[in-house]
Chains A and B, each alone.
Chain A
Amino acid sequence: DAGVTQTPRHEVAEKGQTIILKCEPVSGHNDLFWYRQTKIQGLELLSYFRSKSLMEDGGAFKDRFKAEMLNSSFSTLKIQPTEPKDSAVYLCASSFAGSQNTLYFGAGTRLSVL
């Protein structure tokens, strides 16, 4: 079975640009998560979807970050406009619904904003 697929693996952007990160969850999973990982803050939840419905949009990340789930097998995370402080690894994860179900993570997209 295919795991969670994220593209691109690396992204370099100029300050002020718009970038779109992509994620394909594990087939059949109901829940999809976007996390940001930095050395200082660790993993921070950006967005959470259940059955394509946005359940959490990440509070402090709302203004420039927008996650969408166009269908059950594809999600995007748009950052607009990018700032240097957005440089981080962005991880997508999916699971079956239910807190006891394991999160399966993609390899991540490493974003560098110059």
Chain B
Amino acid sequence: QQKVQQSPESLTVSEGAMASLNCTFSDGTSNNFRWYRQHSAKGLEVLVSIFSDGEKEEGRFTAHLNRANLHVSLHIREPQPSDSAVYLCAVNTGNYKYVFGAGTRLKVIA
């Protein structure tokens, strides 16, 4: 059964500094990974979807996937206070099913 773990649990960065979030998974056969952001009292907003090893950039958000190392990361360039939210990693386990990580709470201070 796919297990997804995120680190760190919480992260504080200064505005403009790079923020890096990590996600490890237990089964490397998946080829469908997503990063979502959840602002307080709001639903999940997809940031980046990545389906093969390497890098995928969407604006200030870049995902790196290395299935051999069972690792996918999210890097946020020039984070702003409005990026303060919980970031969730989602791993597709086949067809419609996803396993979500517990999330990283990011705080960006001005």
Which A positions have Cβ atoms within 8 angstroms of B? 4, 6, 31, 33, 42-43, 45, 48, 50, 55-56, 91, 93, 99-100, 102-108, 110
Least distance between B61 CB and chain A CB atoms (Å): 14
Q: Are A91 and B43 in contact, CB atoms less than 8 angstroms apart? A: yes
Known contacts A100-B32, A105-B43; A55 and B49 CB within 8 A of each other: no
Instruction: For A9, give the chain B residue with the smallest CB separation.
Output: B41
In the bound complex, residues from chain A placing their C-beta under 8 Å from that of B32 are: 99-100
Known contacts A42-B101, A42-B102, A110-B41; A99 and B94 CB within 8 A of each other: yes
Tell me the interface secondary structure of chain A in the complex: strand
Q: Are B51 and A103 in contact, CB atoms less than 8 angstroms apart? A: no
Known contacts A55-B96, A99-B92, A99-B95; A91 and B44 CB within 8 A of each other: yes
Closest 6 CB pairs of A and B: A105-B43, A105-B44, A43-B100, A107-B43, A102-B46, A106-B43
In the bound complex, residues from chain B placing their C-beta under 8 Å from that of A107 are: 41-43
In the bound complex, residues from chain A placing their C-beta under 8 Å from that of B79 are: none
Interface size on B, residues (CB 8 A): 23
Which B positions have Cβ atoms within 8 angstroms of A? 32, 34, 36, 41-46, 49, 51, 88, 90, 92, 94-98, 100-103
In the bound complex, residues from chain B placing their C-beta under 8 Å from that of A91 are: 43-44
